[in-house]
Amino acid sequence: MAYDYQAVHALDGTIGAISERRANHLAVHRATAIAVVLAAPGQTAEAAGILVANGEFEARFSGPGEWLILSEVHAPETLCAELSVRLGDFAFVIDQSHGRVALTLAGPDAARILANGIAIDLHADVFPVGRAANVLCNHLSVNLARTAADSFDLVVMRSFAEALVDDLKTMARSHELSVDFATR
């Protein structure tokens, strides 16, 4: 028997009903290619050198010798193939495009909203643009990265995405926040 498989985003049907855009906006990315790279034992420096940011993908620190790679240019299949070719024996690459959800929180109060649930210092001097960290957001572990002075990227496991959006809405109750899928 043949099956037709359909890709459904983890947040389909839970957001996007209200199109109004407010000062702070949480954009959920539909098709970001995501991969996890783990350096082979003793090869951390070599892998890090190959992963230096370029126009095609962005590497975000998640642990020693471990990065989260995001790409808006590549499709999930081509990102993994590209990384495997570049990294060779220096690292292991695992596709997470359908396993994680990427969100962007942007707006003048973005850092204040995040500070309601995240226990790290988000001041621009301590957590500058380009810095990334795995942090606890309420009870969920997320990868947080600063992409601009008032813009943050969050990457969370797929099954926690709905809970994270609910948490962020609660964290933003004293600020203006709208939530929708990103258009690109």
Binding footprint of another protein on the chain (CB under 8 A): 39, 41-42, 44, 62-66, 119-120, 133-136, 141
| Nearest approach, Cβ of residue 157 and another protein (Å) | 12
Cα–Cα distances in angstroms (integers) from residue 6 to residues 38, 78, 95, 163, in the given order: 30, 20, 18, 23
For another protein, give the closer residue by CB, 111 or 135: 135
> Dihedrals φ, ψ of 36, to 5°?
-105, 130
Q: Of 1, 6, 15, which Cα lies nearest the Cα of 161?
A: 15
For another protein, give the closer residue by CB, 62 or 71: 62
**Encoded tokens for 157:** 């496991």
List, edge to edge, every strand of the sheet that includes 58-63: 58-63, 66-71, 33-39, 91-95
For another protein, give the closer residue by CB, 7 or 119: 119
Q: What distance in Å separates the CA atoms of residue 92 and residue 112, rounded to the nearest whole number? A: 36
For another protein, give the closer residue by CB, 82 or 167: 167
Cα–Cα distances in angstroms (integers) from residue 94 to residues 43, 73, 86, 135, in the given order: 17, 18, 14, 21
Whether the CA torsion 150, 57, 55, 180 is positive or negative: it is negative
Residue in the block written with tokens 């570049």: 86
| Nearest approach, Cβ of residue 86 and another protein (Å) | 21
For another protein, give the closer residue by CB, 28 or 137: 137
For another protein, give the closer residue by CB, 134 or 151: 134
| Nearest approach, Cβ of residue 42 and another protein (Å) | 7
| Nearest approach, Cβ of residue 21 and another protein (Å) | 32
| Nearest approach, Cβ of residue 67 and another protein (Å) | 11
| Nearest approach, Cβ of residue 116 and another protein (Å) | 14
